[in-house]
Amino acid sequence: MEQIAINTILQRDATLLFQIFTEKGLKFIKLLIRPVVVLTALLTTACAGLSMPGTGALEPPGQASIQVNPAGVQTDIVADAAYNLMVAEIALNQGNTALATERYIALSQSQENPAIAERAVRVAVYGQDLDAAAKAAQRWIELEPNRVEAREVIAAIYIRQDKVEEAFGFIDSLIETSELDDAQLFPPLLGILAREKNTEAVLAVSRRIADKHANRAHAQHLHGMLATQNGFGEEGLEYLDRSLALEEINGAHAARARVLLRLGRSGEAVISLRKAVESKPDDQNLRLTYARLLVDIKEYDKARAEFEKLHQASPNDAELLYTLGLLSLESQRLDDAEKYMMMLVRLDEREGEAQYYLGRIYENRKQYDIAIDWYQQVHVGDYLFDARLRIADMLGLSGQADEAIEHLDAMLKGSQSDGSLVRIYVAKGELLRLARRYQESMAVFNTALGIVPGNSDLLYARALVAERLGKIDQLEADLKFILKTEPDNAHALNALGFTLADQTDRYEEAHAYLKRAIEIMPDDPAIIDSLGWVHYRLGNYGEAVRLLRKALSRLNDSEIAAHLGEVLWVTGEQEEARGIWQKALKKSPDDPVLLKVMQRFTP
C-alpha cells in the first residue's frame, strides 16, 4: 500500500512536469523518438519543463515554429532530455529506482526548471539514495533560492545522513533570510523535524537553533516540542518555559501541561493552566485545554465548571453539551445531565449516544420503564448493542426476568461475533443468578462455554454460580483455569481467595491469593473486603477491622457491611455492629448475606 501511495504521488508530480511541454515540442520529440511512439501517452502525462541551457522553455503553439534538425546541437540536447525523462519514468514505473534516480539527477543538472529538480529529490528519497537526493536538493535551491520547502527538505536529508553541521547551516540560513514571520516559518519546520527518526541529530540541530536564536520564542518552542516528543521532558520543559517568557504561542501552555503530567507533576500542570486561563479569560481554546486536563486527573466538578463557562460562550456546541452531560452523570447531577442530553436530542446531534445516556440517567433514578423507552430509541451508533443489553437488565430489575430472557434469546438469534455472544450469555446467566435460578444459570454458562470454550468471562461467571450451588470444586477449577493464562487476573484471584477463606479452612492459601490480588489492584474495595475477611478467619481481628472499615468507606455495600459488623460483634463492639447493619439494611433490605449474618447474631 505504501509503495502504491508513493507511486501515485510521483506520477502526480510527473504530470505537472510534463504540462510545460507544448504541442509543437511534443511533436518534435515524436519525430526524434519514432521507435518508442507507443510511449507518447506516457510522455503526455509524465514530462514537464524541459528546456535547453541558456534558453527559455519551448515556445507554445502559434508563436514560433521549431525547425527539425537532428544534426543541430539544440536538437540533440532536447532529444537527450526527452529521452532521459522517458527512461526515468519507465524505470520508476518498473521499480528500478536507481536508474530513475540517475536519469533525473542528470536532468536536474542540465535543465533550468526547479520542478524537475524537486522531482529528482523525491525520486532519490524514494529510492533511498540520500547522496543523490542531497545533490538534487542543492540544485533545487540554486534554481529556486527563495523556496522554503527546498531548504527544509535538504535539511531533513542531511539529518538522515547524520550531518548535523550541514542541516543546521541550511535551517539557520532559512531562518535568517526568510521573509515569513516566525509563526508561519517554524510550524512547518517543526513538522518536518518531528517526522525524522534520527533523534540525536534532530535534537542537536534544534538545540543549536534555539540557543543561537535565544530571543525568538518560536525557536525555543521548536526545541522544547522536539525534546519532549523524544523523551527529554525536563529539557523540553525548560525550553517551553523560555518560549512562554518571550511570547504566548498558541498551544504552548497545553504542551507544557502535558509534559508536567508525563513527569508526574499534575499539580503543577493544573496551576500552570489555571494561571494561563486567568490571564487570558477569553481564550476559549486555552480554557478547553484546562477543562480537559481537569477531566484527565478526575477533577470532574472543577472540569464541569469550566465546561459550563465554555457552554455559555457557545450554547449550541454539541461537543460541549455532550461533555457536560457525561460529567454531570459522573457526579450524579442527574437533572443537569438530563438537561444537556435533551438539548442534544432537540438539536438532532449525537444521535444514539444522547438517547443511550438518557436511558442511563433514568436507570440511575430507578425509573426502569422510562429507561427502557430511551434505550429503545437507540437505533444507530456504537451504543446500539449496549442499549439492547441494558433493556434486558431493566426488565430484570423490574421483576420481569422471563421477559428479559426472551429479549436476550431474540438477540442470540441474530448474527453475532464471539465477543457479542459472550456478553449476551453473561447477561442471561447473571439475570438468572440474581433471580436465584442457579441451575438454569449454570446451564446457560455450560452452553456458552460449548460455543466459546475457555472464555475467561464465561468461566468467571460460571464460578460465581458454582459457589451459590455449593460446587466449590467447580469454582476452583474454573478460576484456576483462568489464572493459568491470566496469572494477574485480580478478580479471579479475589474470587478464589475469598471463597477459600469463607467456605473452607484453607486460610493461608486464601491469603496468598488475596495478597497477589491486592498487589495488582490495591484500591479495589471488593479485594480489600476479601483481605479483611481472611484476616478475620486467621484471627487477626485488628487488621481485619482496619481493612473492612477501609473497604466500606470506599464502597457502601451491604456485604462489606455484613462482614465488618460480624468482626465488630465478635470483638465486643455490638452497638457499632448493629448500627452498621441497620444502615445497610435500609439500603438493601433483601440482601441475603446481610440478613443471614443478622439472624445469626441477633435472632
Q: Taking 90 as the threshold, does the pLDDT of residue 31 lie above it? A: no
> Is residue 89 in some structural domain?
no
Query: What's the whole-number average pLDDT of the chain?
Result: 83
Question: DSSP letters along 380-449, please?
Answer: SSTTHHHHHHHHHHHHHHTT-HHHHHHHHHHHHTS---HHHHHHHHHHHHHHHHHTT-HHHHHHHHHHHH
> Is residue 515 in some structural domain?
yes
**pLDDT tens-digit series, residues 306-339:** 898 989 889 999 999 999 999 999 889 999 999 9
- Check residue 188 and give its pLDDT: 85
Q: Taking 70 as the threshold, does the pLDDT of residue 73 lie above it? A: no
Both 539 and 509 in one domain: the answer is: yes
Mean pLDDT, residues 204-219 taken together: 94
Both 566 and 518 in one domain: the answer is: no
> Is residue 535 in some structural domain?
yes
Q: What percent of the chain has pLDDT over 70?
A: 86
Q: Taking 60 as the threshold, does the pLDDT of residue 75 lie above it? A: no
| Residue owning grid cell 514530462 | 47
- Check residue 29 and give its pLDDT: 35
Residues 282 and 357: their CA atoms lie apart, in Å, by: 31
Band the pLDDT of 292: cuts 50, 70, 90: confident
* 474: CB partners within 8 A, 6+ apart: 462, 463, 466
Contact status, residue 48 vs residue 113, Cβ threshold 8 Å: yes
Residues 304 and 257: their CA atoms lie apart, in Å, by: 19
Mean pLDDT, residues 567-572 taken together: 95
Q: Taking 60 as the threshold, does the pLDDT of residue 170 lie above it? A: yes
* 224: CB partners within 8 A, 6+ apart: 210, 236, 237, 238, 239, 240, 241, 242, 243, 255
- Check residue 540 and give its pLDDT: 96
Sign of CA dihedral 69, 72, 74, 79: positive
In 10 A of CB 277, how many CB atoms?
20
Q: Taking 70 as the threshold, does the pLDDT of residue 532 lie above it? A: yes
Mean pLDDT, residues 165-187 taken together: 86
Contact status, residue 298 vs residue 327, Cβ threshold 8 Å: no
| Cα dist from 486 to 107, 456, 496, 526, whole Å | 62, 9, 14, 19
Residues 312 and 102: their CA atoms lie apart, in Å, by: 62
Lowest mean pLDDT among 137-146, 427-436, 543-552: 137-146
Domain count, the chain: 2
Which H/E stretch holds residue 173?
Answer: helix 164-177
Both 497 and 529 in one domain: the answer is: yes
Residue whose C-alpha is closest to residue 510's, from 524, 523, 496: 496
Both 564 and 538 in one domain: the answer is: no
Q: Taking 90 as the threshold, does the pLDDT of residue 84 lie above it? A: no
Write down which residue in 547, 566, 583 finishes a domain: 547
Residue whose C-alpha is closest to residue 475's, from 455, 497, 490: 497
Mean pLDDT, residues 292-314 taken together: 87
Write down which residue in 547, 568, 594 finishes a domain: 547
> Is residue 268 in some structural domain?
no
- The residue range of the domain holding 580 is 556-603
What's 39's DSSP letter?
G
- Check residue 154 and give its pLDDT: 74
Residues 545 and 567: their CA atoms lie apart, in Å, by: 7
More confident residue, 89 or 172: 172
Mean pLDDT, residues 279-302 taken together: 84
Task: Report residue 328 as a C-alpha cell.
Answer: 454531570
- Check residue 76 and give its pLDDT: 57
**pLDDT tens-digit series, residues 97-118:** 888 778 887 877 877 888 887 8
Both 530 and 496 in one domain: the answer is: yes
- Check residue 300 and give its pLDDT: 87
- Check residue 30 and give its pLDDT: 37
- Check residue 156 and give its pLDDT: 81
Write down which residue in 547, 574, 589 finishes a domain: 547
Q: Taking 70 as the threshold, does the pLDDT of residue 421 lie above it? A: yes
Mean pLDDT, residues 170-195 taken together: 86
Both 539 and 498 in one domain: the answer is: yes
Residue whose C-alpha is closest to residue 67's, from 27, 114, 13, 10: 27
> Is residue 60 in some structural domain?
no
- Check residue 78 and give its pLDDT: 56
Lowest mean pLDDT among 460-469, 481-490, 570-579, 588-597: 588-597
Q: Taking 50 as the threshold, does the pLDDT of residue 554 lie above it? A: yes
What's 58's DSSP letter?
P
Lowest mean pLDDT among 225-239, 258-272, 355-369, 443-457: 258-272
Mean pLDDT, residues 162-190 taken together: 86
> Is residue 497 in some structural domain?
yes
> Is residue 521 in some structural domain?
yes
More confident residue, 511 or 8: 511
> Is residue 565 in some structural domain?
yes
Contact status, residue 167 vs residue 205, Cβ threshold 8 Å: yes
- Check residue 28 and give its pLDDT: 33
Q: Taking 50 as the threshold, does the pLDDT of residue 270 lie above it? A: yes
Both 573 and 601 in one domain: the answer is: yes
Residues 198 and 164: their CA atoms lie apart, in Å, by: 11
In 10 A of CB 314, how many CB atoms?
12
**pLDDT tens-digit series, residues 54-69:** 333 323 223 222 222 3
Tell me the CA end-to-end span of the chain in Å, nearest whole number.
75
Helix orientation angle between 284-296 and 266-279, rounded to the nearest 10 degrees: 160
Q: Taking 50 as the threshold, does the pLDDT of residue 402 lie above it? A: yes
More confident residue, 451 or 16: 451
Report the phi/psi class of residue 415: left, alpha or beta, with left for phi > 0 and alpha for psi in -120 to 50: beta
